[in-house]
Chain A
Amino acid sequence: MLKEKAMSVVCDAMQTSHPHPPPSALSAQELSQEIKSFISGVDSVQGRKLSVREHARCAVRLLRSVPACRGAVLEHLRGVYDEHVSAFLHHLETEGDGSGGVSSNLEDIIQEVHGVLSEFIRLNPRAWAPLVSAWAVDLLGQMSSKHAGRRATPHSSSLNELLQLWMSCAATRSLMEAYSQCLAAMLAWCPDACVDALLDTSVQHSPHFDWVVAHIGSAFPGTIISRVLACGLKDFCSHGSTDPLLAPAGGGGDKGSRVPKIGSVVGILGHLAAHHSESIRKELLRMFQESLSPSGPLSPSSSASSWESSPQLRRSAVPFLLQLAALSPTLLGAVSAQLVELLRPPILLQLQALLLGLPREELENMLGLAVHLISQSPAGGARVLRFLADTATPASVIISGPTPSPLDGIREACDRLLQMLLLHLHKLVYNRSDGSEAMGPSHHAATSAPPQRVVPFLEELQAHVGELCAETLRLERKRHLWLHQLLCLLSVYGGPSVATEALCQLLTQARNPEELALAWQLHTPLSACLPGLIPAAVGRCVAQIHTHTLGPRPLRQLLLNLAAAVQSQDEERRGAGPVAQASMAVQVGGAVSGHLHDFGPLLLHGDPAVSHAAARLLSTSPLPRRAAAPAHLLQLCRAAVAHFFVALRRRGESGSGRDGGQAGEAVGCSALLLARLAAYSSLALKAVLQQLVEGALHKGNAELFGGRIADMAGDTPLSPSLTPDLGASLLDTNCRFGSAVNFSGSVWSVFHAGVIGKGLKVRAAKPPRDPATVVQNTQTLLAVTVQCCSSSPLNGGANGSQRQPTPDPDDPPPPINAEAAKVVAMTLVENICPDVANGELSWPPEEHARTTVERDIHIRRCFEAHPVLFPLLQVVAAGRPALCYLSAVLRGLLATLLAHWEASREALATDSPWHLQASCLLVSCMGEGQLLPPVLGNVHEAFPHLTPFEVRLLLLALWEYVRGNGPMPQKFVFSPERGLFCRDFSRDGDVARYVAPIHSVLHKNIDRLGHLCWRFQL
């Protein structure tokens, strides 16, 4: 019963496993016959020769029934497989010949064999998998190399084509599948043996066998990758370590013949890298780490393959990995980025310990290889560099973080490595030809070198120029020297664009003269091979400004740096700066002057520091030699003037102290800039003066100079909420117009001083500025104005490049230029009372003045509101005959003063202080401007001692004089000896009749005015 059961179990197994079991119950006799047939190849019953397929069938039957025959059967099947492959290839070679019959004939046999084998493996993997895997791998290897030379087979280097070819062949595919099945089964209990067989075959039939390993590898990446590496390491250790530098030098051409196994490893891993780069990277890094980890108890998780336990293998792991990376850019790329992360101090110590054991020569080779690899690594170069620099920097400087400082040995090694790297890069950079461009010191080598060798390390670093510059500028000792050298190489390598970028970055990021000096140091070697570098760099900086990529601080820094650069030009004049720096300064100055209009808007930058820096730069940089475009110039002038006022305001706000000092300096810069602009061209002069005057009178700026805006007519000085509503509404009045006439509160009753019947308008009670500040501001404004006016290009023929010598306090101030004064005058007229611009210069009789009461009041109030007008008047007066053009304004002012004095019921003129002062100033100006002869011009000296009526008398006399002798510019003639225009009063009418009222007044008050009598002698 049991026997039956056992049989049925067996039969079940067979039936389920194979649909067509062979006649299972072959008798011993039949089996004996089968063996005979199999051995002889002749049907032992019928006596005829067996065909290939019959023979194969016979073999399969034996495989199923006689265990002892399996070796022989498998051996026989090799032939069958081989025959199929041959037929397959032949068919490929003679495509379309119709000779595919053979291959299709055998294909079913192969299928059958495959079925039997895979069934066996499935049923009993432990027994069959080792057997079949060894057989399949060996057969695959044999066939791969045997048919490698065939026409239909692609070259062994093209792994993918090979793979495609062989996988389309039934025999090899079947073998491959069988092997995969075995491997899958064996992975559970002994992967090593299986893979070792594969790799041994791989070595034997390399490189034709690589496709198998690659295919298997992509099916079992984890196992294969580590095994392949371990196998390669063993091979490398046994004989590969003698020539580590041959391969990289020779390139990739003959690697197959020189170092067979490592070539295969590279090929296989390269194939796998397409889909399993992550695993490969992990494996490589793991190998690296484990080769370093102390050879104590190994972690049980690691596959514990043999290489970790052999000290020699562990020692050669690092050289092996280097070599591997040198042979395959893919692997290099996979590892390089992450390797650096691993190199923490403990690992470094281990590495050092490991490398100490190597002979010196080998170490040198490795060093060279490492340098080569770094220069070739396509990614992570920046990190590598940072790591090297970090590690090589002396410990005392490293304060970063809690990482313990590496030992000196490691530091020195890194130092050395870095230097070699720089040297290597230097060679690479200067030895490559660059077409037409001559490459500095290695000019002679350019002809022989291969064209345009790409250096991936530098390629990658090009994107990190900014960071490099920042690092360099930290000026850590040694480190910045390396980085600086590297920057230099990078610039030469990358050409103008990179060089420009680097220089631009340095200019932007430098924070002090030492750091800025790096920029010049960089420029010096580059200037030879890259002409026009500085203009490009400055242009780039400007572009940066335009794109608003810089924050206020860097922007300011950039401007200051540029200014400093330009300033060193001055130092050169004095013979202080180094020559190189000086020539650079000239270039920078030239470049900046080309971009003045780009820097101009920065004067109005919201950040005071930036605008100040801009002013500094503009005030130091030379103005363009060629005439600048008027639009640019005007824009610049406008900005400069605006900045001037802003600076003034800031000075007032910041008070004393450091800020105050800075603000004062800003004002100084600004004034200098204005002066230089004014000196540049007449257009600029006009623009500057015009802007200055307008600015000084502008609502916003008026208070700087003690002005009271609220006094101007027509203004609504207070916000409605603050004003008590008087019920005066023009709208209301207009609505009611016609229905009822109500004059009270109507438009007719609204006067400049308020609504009639309601008293004076409430003045805005704004706290007046500190008088001292007002005085200082006024002084500054005047100084600037005077400087502008006196530095006129019209009479000196000066142009942009010529500097105004700094005014010496001892020298008399240069005369004020008439033309400039005229500009000021015209501007004043336009601003004070536009109605009278271009009006009649001559004065009407005094009685007619009442026709222009409104206008005159407006003029007077203008003067009241803007105390700064009087000093400006004085400036104009000094630039004779410019005061003539202000004639209408003067007349208006005089008319109101006359009206005031006439109406005044005070006892003394001093009781109306403003009017007294205004009168005095007016008269003195007119005297200075030679609208009045000296006798009349002195009359104001008496005013404070007189009564209002007497003042009126005297002023009236003046009016009369001017009416009689009109203030015409043509009455002035230029006196070359004084450099001024003068008026010859002798041509005018007799002065005496105008002096009579003066004398009368003198007489009347002789007790008080005796001391002044001499002033009024004719």
Chain B
Amino acid sequence: MGDIRQSLLPRDVLSAAKELLYHLDIYISNLVQSGRQPPQVDTKTLELVEEFILHSPKDRNVQPRRMSALQELQLLEIMCSCFQEQSRDTVRQLMFSALFSLQGNQADESRMALLSKLVSMSVAVGRVPILECAATWLQRSHRVYCVRLARVLVDDYCSLVPGSMSTLQNIHSSSPRFCCQFVTAVTTLYDLTTEDLTPPLELLQMIVSWLQDDPHLVLITLLNSPLSGSQPISSLDLTPLGGLVRWCVKAPLAYRRGKKQGLTNGTSDSETEAGPLFSTLHLSVLQVLMLLPNILNEKGLFGRLALLQLETLATLTSDLSRLLDQADKHGHGPSSDAHVLSQLVLDRLAQALQVALANGALLCSREDLRAICSRLPHNNLLQQAGSLVLLWGREGVVSLTWLVGTGLAVLPSMMRGTVGGVIFWVCFAFCKFSRGSESHRAI
């Protein structure tokens, strides 16, 4: 394959890239057919890709050739059709990774740029094979790059082109895998630490609607991944659950902060719109957590795979305690508004912890949980969540009666909250009941 370089050199940028793609297709097809395991693309070929498609400078003396935006668009178009027309998944995957696998060299920048454009365009024109490949890429690549890709997509569809959100929204029907990875990447990206890292409203709406339509969506990667669970280091989480929990818990504080800053601009309506959305999202997350035992049991991973990492939660709680402190300081004493917010935050945290613990998404001891929650302000639900660990292991019935009692006790305070909150409690109580009786039976 290395010998074609000489023939590519005199060509103009676009046709050289086209020709290389063509050769790459043939080369990889041959590779797959040869049946060597695992099929490996050699370094020479990767260098050709870098030189003629990504146009990274081969050596410092030669000025790298650049494509104009139009040529690039043409190249993207060709790639789209190329992947579309390739019928074999293996070949397609290999080709995709030959083109876009990160190599840790300076070509990675242009690689990322091209990949972002390709994925963005595929979303627009609905190229499912490419999205599938991209989902795989998102699974395998370092989370920093995944986050970048996500960011490009969010920028493109949420902010740059008004009205194009629906295009992105539609892909959940065509490529749920990509959607799942996208959500994971997005929740990793927007950690609500700053204004800039607060998810746009449109994005939030989209994700909420996705989860409402199909709670399984966020578990697709988990469902499809092999049992071994040997994930590449620093890749994205297997599920977006951790990120989603963080969103739901931190959101009231984050948006409150945003409101405070945005007072002059009068953009406080984002809070009023975002509040119900996060409640809905929270409910969806809890629902998804409750789906877990079945799936994990089927895979035989119940109690072995922690979908929520304890470290993630520790970070979350320390962030929370800091934010709550700040809210107290700025709030001129315990104003009712700030108090309600902090209780909402802590309630959500406690609910998530309880449900996650109950459904085997969080694997930890009571002491661990106490330790990470120790710095948080007082909250009834949270305190009882700490004791739940103990109770849960010993006596289901006790916990069940206790839970119902707690649920009824907390209910009035939650009435002030959202409809979603109420729904949650009703659902939660029911589910608990059935779940508790099941486990009791098992014991």
Contacts and interface: CB of A to CB of B under 8 A. Distances in A.
Interface of A: 2-3, 5-7, 10-11, 13-14, 17, 21, 24-25, 27-29, 31-32, 35-36, 38-39, 63-72, 74-76, 119-120, 123-124, 126-128
A34 B159 CA distance: 22
Interface of B: 68-70, 72-74, 76-77, 80, 116-118, 120-121, 124-126, 155-157, 159-167, 169, 202, 205-206, 208-209, 212, 277, 280
B69 A72 contact: yes
Nearest to B174: A28
Nearest to B126: A28
A28 B165 CA distance: 14
A32 B163 contact: no
A11 B165 CA distance: 11
- Greatest chain A CB density within 10 A among B121, B125, B277 is at B125
B73 A120 contact: no
B77 A35 contact: yes
B165 to A, nearest CB: 6
B73 A124 contact: no
Contact of A39 (B70, B155, B160, B164): B70
Contacts of A31: 124-126
Contacts of B73: 35, 38-39, 68-69, 71-72
A233 B135 CA distance: 51
Given A75-B69, A75-B70, A68 B117 contact: yes
Contacts of A38: 73
Contacts of A28: 124-126, 167
A3 B167 contact: no
Contact of A65 (B70, B80, B167, B169): B167
Interface of A is mostly: helix
A63 B156 CA distance: 11
A830 B359 CA distance: 148
Contact of A10 (B80, B155, B166): B166
6 contacts: A6-B169, A39-B70, A66-B121, A67-B120, A68-B118, A120-B160
Q: Which 8 A-B pairs have the closest CB atoms?
A: A28-B126, A67-B156, A71-B69, A72-B73, A68-B120, A68-B121, A75-B69, A66-B124
A31 B76 CA distance: 14
Given A6-B205, A75-B69, A69 B163 contact: no
Contact of B208 (A2, A17, A27): A2
A10 B212 CA distance: 20
A14 B163 CA distance: 7
Contacts of A39: 70, 73-74, 77
Given A6-B202, A35-B125, A67 B70 contact: no
A17 B161 CA distance: 13
Nearest to A123: B162
B124 A67 contact: yes
A946 to B, nearest CB: 127
A32 B69 contact: no
B3 to A, nearest CB: 30
B174 to A, nearest CB: 9
A189 B167 CA distance: 31
A32 B165 contact: no
B263 to A, nearest CB: 17
Nearest to A131: B160
Contacts of B117: 68
Contact of B162 (A17, A71, A76): A17
A3 B167 CA distance: 13
A65 B164 contact: yes
B126 A76 contact: no
A2 B205 contact: yes
Contacts of B155: 67, 127
Contact of B212 (A2, A27, A68, A123): A2
A6 B209 contact: yes
Contacts of B80: 32
A69 B162 contact: no
Contacts of B77: 35-36, 39
Given A66-B121, A124-B159, A7 B68 contact: no
A65 B165 contact: no
A120 B68 CA distance: 23
A32 B127 CA distance: 10
Contacts of B124: 28, 31, 65-68
A41 to B, nearest CB: 10
A372 B11 CA distance: 60
- Greatest chain A CB density within 10 A among B70, B120, B166 is at B70
B163 A68 contact: no
Contacts of B165: 6, 10
B8 to A, nearest CB: 22
Nearest to A6: B205
A68 B169 contact: no
A11 B156 CA distance: 18
B2 to A, nearest CB: 30
Given A69-B73, A72-B72, A127-B155, A64 B163 contact: yes
Contacts of A5: 205
Contacts of B126: 27-29, 31-32
Contacts of A10: 162-163, 165-166, 202
A120 B162 contact: yes
B209 A126 contact: no
Contacts of A21: 163
Nearest to B212: A2
A71 B160 contact: no
A810 to B, nearest CB: 108
Nearest to B69: A71
A74 B69 contact: yes
Contacts of A67: 120, 124, 155-157, 160-161, 164
A21 B164 CA distance: 13
B427 to A, nearest CB: 18
Contacts of A11: 163
B150 to A, nearest CB: 14
B209 A127 contact: no
Nearest to A126: B159
A7 B125 contact: no
- Greatest chain B CB density within 10 A among A17, A29, A69, A128 is at A69
B109 to A, nearest CB: 16
A66 B125 contact: yes
Contacts of B118: 68
A32 B156 CA distance: 17
A142 B145 CA distance: 36
A64 B208 CA distance: 25
B353 to A, nearest CB: 27
Contacts of A27: 126
Given A2-B209, A6-B202, A75-B69, A65 B74 contact: no
